[in-house]
Amino acid sequence: MLPRTRFRDFAWLLLLTAAVVLIHGYHLGIEDQATYLPAVKRMLDPRLYSWDAQFFLAQTRLTLLIGIVTFTVRVTHLPLDVVVFLWHLASVFLFLWSCLRLSRRCFSAHGAQWAGVALIVAVITIPIAGTLMLMIDQYLHPRTLATAAVLFALCAVLDRKLSAFAWLALAWVIHPQIALFGSIHLALLAWRVPNWTLAALVAPDLPYWAPSNAAWRQLLATRRDWLIFQWHWYEWLGAFGPIVLLRWFARLGERQGTPAMKHVCQRLALSGGVTVAAGILVNGVPQLHRFIPLQPMRTLHILYIVLFLCGGSLLGEFVLRNRAWRWALLFVPICTGMVYSQRHVFPDSPHIEWPGRTSRNDWVQAYDWVRLNTPRNAYFALDPRYLERPGEDNHGFRAFAERGMMADYTKDRGVVALFPELAYEWRDQVRAREGWSKFQLADFQQLRAKYGVTWVVVEQPGASGMTCLFENARVKVCRVE
């Protein structure tokens, strides 16, 4: 009989949730939050982003998390950055709880169960092969909640409970892609539910059926993470390695008399092999290229989680046991290395961007000034690759400035890849700013005449003749007249 989750377990999970933030950091408005956070702000104030909302609403309409965060702000009257941080903590907590529940179905030893969860905590921001996806992000993302729901569903499948369908339904409305991939894994795990039946539940809401166009095909050629034949050898190792290791874990489970671990690892190795083969097929057959944005290789996400969970549990059962020095010898170097790597990824930002604190990042300071000092209907132009500029650390302009901007190359490209009808507009706006670093006043005035741009954010020293109302060591905010 499975042990119930007790108060002490919740206390440990809270401590491990805090450890995730301390080790891997926390950041607001970075990477995919450059898309999701503006959607929340738009829902709170529909007057925002009158110029460019199409570049984030197309994708964010697929997740209920936007509405959940908005509802929480309205009910609690807490600042949005506080609500986002609290939901991030809740998401991580639920994810770790789902890992603990799965570990307890695969291992009987108490220490082994927690060792698996501890290893997940230590490596939680590890990349998934060449997909540009992490096990869990350093900020609130719908993937985290959806992944927790899929893992709870996996536990329900092992327990032969119908609650698996409820957990999957929750995953569908939070992050359809994670839910789709999770359904495929669970269908093969259960061996009873046809894959096509589960896929049909979400098919009408996924954007992958829209026809492609020339601009979209040009965009697709820039997504090396989606075009798996352009992956490096070590990224392919990251794709096939987990499948091989899970097969090995299945054999260990058979020898050690842990049938649940054997079953889970064996079936996930099978479903992982099938979906990787599907990814190769989609990339290799031109007629199937429209399905490349589905990113079949991201099915490896669940495999990585189970791999590290079972790997940590096996270490706990056979190596670490109750020897504190062994635990320290394993986890201290791993956690130290992960802290170092996160500081390398975000070198110009605090390791933890606490809510309510004034940012020390020069770019974010400029965005904050824009929010406080420019009209709500102001329309901005930035370097289309501004997210990749030194010191920017992937902070989204819209997420902080709450103002419209011309389409960027980095994050808007990801949305447009899912919605080809936006491709021509995106391509035209990006092309209009080619050679941005050499732009002069006349070039900015041309952007105003053609697109309605009224303000620009430029790096120092900027163009001569501009009226700049804010500047710091890295950037200027200038009016286009």
| pLDDT tens profile 79-134 | 999 999 999 999 999 999 999 999 999 998 999 999 999 999 999 999 999 999 99
Q: Give me the residue spans of the domains in the chain.
A: 7-30+62-321, 362-479
pLDDT given for residue 198 in this prediction: 42
pLDDT given for residue 257 in this prediction: 76
Q: Which residue has the higher pLDDT, 436 or 206?
A: 436
Q: Which residue has the higher pLDDT, 5 or 192?
A: 5
H or E stretch at 278 = helix 259-284
pLDDT at 162 over 80: yes
pLDDT given for residue 199 in this prediction: 42
Average pLDDT score over residue span 367-394? 95
H or E stretch at 86 = helix 80-106
- Helix, coil or strand: residue 373: helix
Of 159-168, 202-211, 282-291, give the lowest mean pLDDT range: 202-211
| pLDDT tens profile 168-177 | 999 999 999 9
pLDDT given for residue 250 in this prediction: 92
Residue 440 CA to residue 433 CA, distance in Å, equals 11
Cα-Cα end-to-end distance for the chain:
73
Instruction: Check whether the bond before 461 is cis (ω within 30° of 0).
Output: yes
State pTM to two decimals: 0.93
Residue 161 CA to residue 123 CA, distance in Å, equals 31
What's the distance, CA 168 to chain centroid? Answer: 19
- What amino acid is encoded at 472 in this protein? N
**What percent of the chain lies above the pLDDT cut of 70?**
95
Looking at residue 46, what DSSP letter applies? T
Looking at residue 5, what DSSP letter applies? P
- Can you say whether the dihedral through the CA atoms of 433, 435, 437, 443 is positive or negative? negative
Side by side, the strands of the sheet bearing 404-405 are: 404-405, 379-381, 455-459, 475-479, 467-471
pLDDT given for residue 211 in this prediction: 64
Confidence of residue 26 (pLDDT cuts 50, 70, 90): very high
Average pLDDT score over residue span 61-84? 96
pLDDT at 480 over 60: yes
Pick from 103, 90, 111, 98: nearest CA to 149: 98
| pLDDT tens profile 190-245 | 875 444 344 433 444 455 455 678 888 888 888 888 899 999 999 999 999 999 99
Confidence of residue 20 (pLDDT cuts 50, 70, 90): very high
pLDDT given for residue 220 in this prediction: 85
Average pLDDT score over residue span 255-283? 90
Looking at residue 139, what DSSP letter applies? S
pLDDT at 369 over 70: yes
| pLDDT tens profile 177-188 | 999 999 999 988
pLDDT at 275 over 60: yes
Beta strands 379-381 and 404-405: pairing type? Answer: parallel
Burial bucket for residue 260 (CB in 10 Å: 0-12, 13-18, 19+)? middle
pLDDT given for residue 418 in this prediction: 87
**What percent of the chain lies above the pLDDT cut of 90?**
78
Average pLDDT score over residue span 408-436? 92
pLDDT given for residue 210 in this prediction: 58
